[in-house]
A and B are shown apart, each in its own frame.
Chain A
Amino acid sequence: MSERLLEIRNLSVSFDTAQGTVRALRDVSFHVNRGEILGLVGESGSGKSVSMLSCLGLLPANGRIDNGSILFDGQELSPVGLTGRGALRQHEAMLRSIRGNRIGMIFQDPMTYLNPVLTIGTQLTEGLTAHGTCSRQEAWQRAVEMLRKVGISEPERRMKQYPYEFSGGQRQRMIIASALACEPQLLIADEPTTALDVTVQAQILELIRRLARENGTAVIMITHDLGVVASLCDRIAVLYGGKVCETGTADEIFYETKHPYTAGLLRSVSRRAASGGKTARGTLQSIPGTPPDLLHLGSGCPFAARCGEAMKICRDYYPAETAFGGEHSAACWLWCREKAAELTEAQDRERGERHG
């Protein structure tokens, strides 16, 4: 049995829109081991949710996987290379049997995934009975138990209520409960605690931690909250502009930061934490500039336009990946200056030849 429960290799995903093709993921690779908690962080729009939706075969209709492999427990989840209606239908059936069963999902937008006209109880038990693993009565018991675990008081009564009757954080916990109830091998949690106050958040994080440590569940945690990442995650992958720009253990990412985007992100957060929020108005620090336009991507480093250390080569060539031992690696020209120099030279020579 391989250590790696989910392994994404060279995944590229794009969307067709009226304005052109949005290249949401380009050649993305990362993995999560059994019992490990992987943090997926990165700017809004960097492709975190899209990478997970791709694994689950849940991309919206205008999206497609252009390339890449997604191995889950040895099984290929990527449809790349499949041809013929039969094969695709079989693939879809396989994904359906895995979703909400062996892979539990907590989505970023709870309301989209809760049916407004069904009670919470119906929805929670439906998920459990759908895969034929337990009876209605067992499912009801299990759902009540899970609601209690995520801190919902009087779960029996609340099972009979409709989604609109709950607060934002309560709905989020419904989704968490339903994802956990199926005892998945892999839990994908997309911003699971954004609507929760810090005390309930601490409870949920503890629940997830125990799940990983005691049941060996692998967890992919998508979050903007670096406090959550620091206290929960074993390893971190940082995404920027549809690319993985740095990955490593939590300590490597926080204390041996290599990529300028990661550094900028940490700097703005730590400054805020150090001040405890006691910052003068209008002085909130962040990385200047805006994220890249995924419709018109150049060939260079997607961070180049905002990077304080950008060199000429950064705008023309995507940086090579540098490994720093263990699993720590970053894609940035600062760490492979020799190769950068070679390329710049070749570029100059070419230009010289053209002009000369």
Chain B
Amino acid sequence: MAEPIIRVEGLEKHFQIRTGGLGRKMLIHAVNGVSLEIAKGETLGIVGESGCGKSTLGRTILKVLEPDAGHIWCDGTDITGFSRRQMRPWRRRMQMIFQDPYASLNPRFTVGELIAEPMAIYRTHGEAEQRERVQELLQIVGLKPDHIRRYPHEFSGGQRQRIGIARALALEPEFIVCDEPISALDVSIQAQIVSLLERIQDEKKLSYLFIAHDLTMVRHISHRIGVMYMGELVEIGPADEVCEHPVHPYTKLLMSAVPIPDPVQARLQRPQLTEGEVPSPIDLPKGCPFAPRCPHATKQCRELVPPLKDVGDRQVACFL
């Protein structure tokens, strides 16, 4: 089989937080032993509870955050222990589109400068070439040529997200972590951006880790989908299968809560709100992380952590 562009094994990322007056430190297990592979030209969708570690997973794979355990291979090379300098040539090949287009764009730069910045840092283009490429990128993401001299705050939410995408595409990367790239966009621009990401993928054989909450969109763009809960993968498999026949109780809950764009149907089927608290990532419960909310939880679930097992064409972490 061809070398996957990304492979991670037992990846862990913890955050230390201070709580209480005595400066007692506690650990947040944001990513807790994740293993996965992304093939060249493949999109792996990641969905899951807010705060379950999706962004942290993406950032750790890119080594924006240093992993606490586990290994990351990029195109067959183990980059886990690489220093910043060693990472430099790899950075160009791996980019990120951020969840928060506001926080990630420097307000003092014009749009033209923002899009040119990665090219300037890596000195990949001559001055004239660079100007041309900026225009090309603006066009690709559907912004107008005269937007180049405007500042990020002069744009609406959706327009700013497209600036971020143009930036990520500037260096023609091979792998992009798309962290909720379309959440802030309206339906027709969502469709444009997703079609755009698909087109670039087909042309350049790009790979994506696509994080989003909109399940229909994730399903549309992804070849495979991974479902995360409390820092762990609980189900991963072919996109259509996971959506149509979810196996893990959390995946089932997720699929049932998708709001329906039809007032009458929406009135008829209010999603069942789950009882039970979302556990805190600070004190991970013993056993399956979903057990406190799971309608099928048994004694075994509360005591032991279910391992990720093969179930037909996918893997599921559940004792059922």
Contact = CB atoms under 8 A, between A and B. Distances in A.
Interface of A: 15, 17-19, 22, 42-45, 49, 60, 62, 108-112, 151, 153-154, 157, 160-161, 165-170, 172-173, 191, 194-203, 205-206, 224-231, 250-251, 254-255, 264-266, 268-270, 272-273, 275-279, 281-282, 284-287, 290, 293
B192 interface: yes
Contacts of A225: 214, 259
B219 A277 contact: yes
B192 A199 contact: no
A197 B49 contact: yes
Residue among A195, A198, A254 with most chain B CB within 10 A: A198
Contacts of B246: none
A286 B100 contact: no
Contacts of B150: 17-19
Nearest to B261: A226
A43 B156 CA distance: 10
Given A197-B50, A231-B270, A272-B216, A108 B187 contact: no
Contacts of A170: 50-51
Interface stretch (B1-9, B71-79, B130-138, B277-285): B277-285
Contacts, number: 213
Given A17-B154, A157-B19, A161-B17, A201 B259 contact: yes
Contacts of B216: 272-273, 275-277
A254 B264 CA distance: 10
B27 interface: no
28 contacts: A17-B154, A44-B159, A44-B189, A45-B158, A62-B154, A111-B103, A151-B278, A160-B19, A168-B99, A168-B180, A169-B51, A170-B51, A199-B49, A201-B257, A206-B273, A226-B187, A227-B259, A227-B266, A230-B259, A230-B266, A272-B216, A273-B261, A276-B219, A279-B220, A281-B198, A284-B191, A286-B188, A287-B188
Contact of A230 (B20, B49, B260): B260
Given A44-B186, A161-B17, A170-B51, A199 B103 contact: no
B308 interface: no
